[in-house]
Amino acid sequence: MKALMWQGVNELSVGEVPDPTMRNEQDAIIRVRKTVTCGSDLHLLGGYIPFMERGDVLGHEFLGEVVEVGPQVRKHKVGDRVVVCSFVSCGRCWYCQRQQYSLCDNGNTNPAITENVWGFAPGGCYGYSHALGGFAGSHAEYIRVPYADQGAFTVPDGVSDERALFASDAAPTGWMGADLGGVKAGDVVAVWGAGGVGQMAARAAVLLGAERVIIIDRFANRLQMAEKYLGVETLNYQTQDVGGELLERSGGRGPDVCIEAVGMESHSTGPQYLYDQVKQQLRLESDRPIAARQAIYHCRKGGSVFLLGVYANLVDKFPLGAVMNKGLTLRGAQQHGHRYIPMLLERMARGELVTEHLATHTMPLDEAPQGYNMFKNKLDGCVRAVFEPAR
């Protein structure tokens, strides 16, 4: 079958790989109808998560049609239209029982790497390097889905492929940030990053009753999108004073909840950008935590900061003093999507959650390397590139 492969840092190719086969009684094979890029893929493409091997198939967000099910699969049958959570979890272990699905003890079949780096291994993720299980990714004609009853969700008839696709990752990730970040009715919420994840976090905050939601980025097209489709306020950090504006818009206190949806390749206009770039390139720190630092500084005393952006390992100049002295709650997680996807699909069916505007560029899988180039370099207003392997 055809697939998009990682060939080295910033090097991709489309070529033939073996078809997936059933390995387990709980597996399903899905014919991929749509699969989409994510900011997380950029960290792999750029070599910031150094556990990819030449020829690995990329992609973890997808929707498709079930073409084969194992004898233990109860919820799905051949022909079902399903969206699949980007994280692999078993649904039965200690963590899954507590709905902390991305921490699943059985989802990552290759736990040694992350045990060495972080102490314990999180669950697995499709197409997300050998550190997260070495699963073949979804930028392909077919994909094997382990624990299919747990990871695949039937899409309600009234929800289009374009909309449901984002229930795989961006929508549940954003929802988790607002939910576990503790957004309550009446809160002021600031979201750093107006990519797919930040936009979904901002929308979740609105739906959870926040009084004001402010999304921060430098790309005008992304900010306009947020105003138009999410009903939130915006801040352009290149032309506006983020700290001053956030104070002004929160009655002088600072936002109650700050959600960081930028991650380890964050950007800034100040001198710290150069500082972090140099240290990252020299491998003196692995991640550039610029937006995380800002979220911590600008959060009100006693507020909550949630890190949705992906971080790999070590950061520098981290304001731990502000976390401690301001009494902040600091959390982060890979998405526990299984906990939210059914509810999000219902909201999509009711029209409360629209996502299809994120799919700015749709193309056949053959054009995926060009799609990644547009997405990475934010060319032509690209917010997400969607690939259709069957086209």
Ligand X SMILES: NC(=O)c1ccc[n+]([C@@H]2O[C@H](COP(=O)([O-])OP(=O)(O)OC[C@H]3O[C@@H](n4cnc5c(N)ncnc54)[C@H](O)[C@@H]3O)[C@@H](O)[C@H]2O)c1
The DSSP H or E segment spanning 277 is helix 271-281
Q: Kindly determine how many residues on this chain lie close enough to bind Zn ion according to the rule CB under 5 A.
A: 9
Asked if 58 is part of the footprint of ligand X (rule: CB under 6 A), the reply reads no
Q: Which stretch binds ligand X (CB under 6 A): 17-25, 132-140, 141-149, 256-264?
A: 256-264
Q: How far is the CB of 362 from ligand X (least distance, A)?
A: 16
Taking CB under 5 A as the criterion, the residue among 29, 30, 38, 257 binding Zn ion is 38
222 binds, among ligand X, Zn ion, none (CB under 5 to 8 A by kind): ligand X
267-286 residues near ligand X, rule: CB under 6 A: 267-268
Taking CB under 6 A as the criterion, the residue among 73, 143, 261, 368 binding ligand X is 261
Other CB atoms within a 10 A radius of the CB of residue 212 amount to: 18
Phi, psi (degrees; rounded to nearest 5) at 258: -120, 120
Beta bridge partners of 8: 11
Asked if 262 is part of the footprint of ligand X (rule: CB under 6 A), the reply reads yes
The two three-digit tokens of residue 184, written as one number: 């309550």
Closer Cβ to Zn ion, 24 or 325, answer by number: 24
Closer Cβ to Zn ion, 40 or 250, answer by number: 40
Closer Cβ to ligand X, 80 or 217, answer by number: 217
Q: How far apart are CA 178 and CA 88, in angstroms?
A: 22
CA proximity to 306, closest of 169, 202, 157, 231: 202
242-301 residues near Zn ion, rule: CB under 5 A: none
Asked if 35 is part of the footprint of ligand X (rule: CB under 6 A), the reply reads no
Asked if 309 is part of the footprint of ligand X (rule: CB under 6 A), the reply reads yes
Asked if 237 is part of the footprint of ligand X (rule: CB under 6 A), the reply reads yes
| C-beta of residue 147 within 8 angstroms of C-beta of residue 101 | no
150-169 residues near ligand X, rule: CB under 6 A: 169
104 binds, among Zn ion, ligand X, none (CB under 5 to 8 A by kind): Zn ion
Sequence-distant (6+) residues with CB within 8 A of 170 are 38, 61, 196, 197, 199, 200, 355, 358, 384
40-99 residues near Zn ion, rule: CB under 5 A: 40, 89-90, 93, 96
Q: How far apart are CA 131 and CA 50, in angstroms?
A: 9
With left for phi above 0 and alpha for psi between -120 and 50, is residue 233 left, alpha or beta?
A: beta
Taking CB under 6 A as the criterion, the residue among 26, 35, 40, 234 binding ligand X is 40
Q: Kindly determine how many residues on this chain lie close enough to bind ligand X according to the rule CB under 6 A.
A: 33
Q: How far apart are CA 281 and CA 287, in angstroms?
A: 10
197 binds, among ligand X, Zn ion, none (CB under 5 to 8 A by kind): ligand X
Going from the C-alpha of 113 to that of each of 134, 306, 315, the distances in angstroms are 11, 25, 19
Taking CB under 6 A as the criterion, the residue among 198, 254, 255, 289 binding ligand X is 198
Q: Which stretch binds ligand X (CB under 6 A): 65-73, 245-253, 257-265, 359-367?
A: 257-265
HSE-up of residue 122 (Cα within 13 Å, Cβ side): 20
Asked if 192 is part of the footprint of ligand X (rule: CB under 6 A), the reply reads yes
Sequence-distant (6+) residues with CB within 8 A of 61 are 35, 36, 37, 38, 86, 138, 165, 166, 168, 169, 170
Q: Which stretch binds Zn ion (CB under 5 A): 129-137, 167-175, 234-242, 249-257?
A: 167-175
| Strands 81-84 and 61-69, bridge-based pairing | antiparallel
Going from the C-alpha of 222 to that of each of 128, 171, 380, the distances in angstroms are 26, 16, 12
Q: How far is the CB of 60 from Zn ion (least distance, A)?
A: 5
Asked if 199 is part of the footprint of Zn ion (rule: CB under 5 A), the reply reads no
Chain residues that interact with ligand X, rule: CB under 6 A = 38-40, 42-43, 169, 173, 192-198, 216-219, 222, 237, 261-263, 266-268, 290-291, 308-310, 334-335
